[in-house]
Structure 1
Amino acid sequence: MGRHRRGARREVTVADLIDALRRYPADMEVRLATQPRMPLEHTVGGVAEADGMVWIGELRQEGYAPDEVSERLGWR
C-alpha cells in the first residue's frame, strides 16, 4: 500500500485503505503510528472530507509504538 507498481511512492487512496483493512477482524482497534525514528502511537478520532481529501483525525497520543510496528511498516 502506498507504492506504485514500479516502486515509486504514491498517496494512499480510500480504496487502498479499505482493501488493507479487510484482512483484519472488524472488531480490532486501530492505531496510527507516526515518526519513523521514534514511532508514536495515536488513537484514531473522526474521519472527514475537506479540500478534496479524506482526513483521519487523531483522538489522543498514547505513547510510543512497540518496535514490532516499525519493523512491519518497513521503517527499520
Structure 2
Amino acid sequence: MNDNRIATVGELIAALTNYHPATPIRVATQPSYPMEHTLRCVVCTPDDCEGDGTPPTDPPVAWLGVGGQVGYLPAPAADALRWS
C-alpha cells in the first residue's frame, strides 16, 4: 500500500502542479475491487459541524465529492497505486 498522504489543500495543489490543467481527474477507490469515479464538487465545512444547531468550533475541512462511477480502475493505475 502506498503510504504517501495528501492531508491538506496545499499538498493536493502541490501534487497536481506537475500535470497539465486540462488533464482529467478521477478518484480511485476500493483497493480490493478497484473502481474509478469522477469528482463532482468541492465543499468546505467545519470539521465538527453536526447540523444539530451546535455551533462548530473546529477549523474547516475541504471535502471532495465523488461524481459518477466511470468503471474499473485500469491495471496500470492500480499498479501505480500499489494496489495489485
Question: Partners of 1:37 and 1:69 in 2: how far apart?
Answer: 13
Aligned to 2:13: 18
Aligned residues between the structures? 68
Q: TM-score, normalised by structure 1?
A: 0.81
Q: TM-score, normalised by structure 2?
A: 0.74
Structure of larger gyration radius: 2
Question: Partners of 2:41 and 2:34 in 1: how far apart?
Answer: 21
Verify: 1:34 aligned to 2:42, yes or no.
no
Identity %: 38
Give unpaired runs (5+ residues) of structure 2: 48-59
Deviation at 1:12, TM superposition (A): 1.8
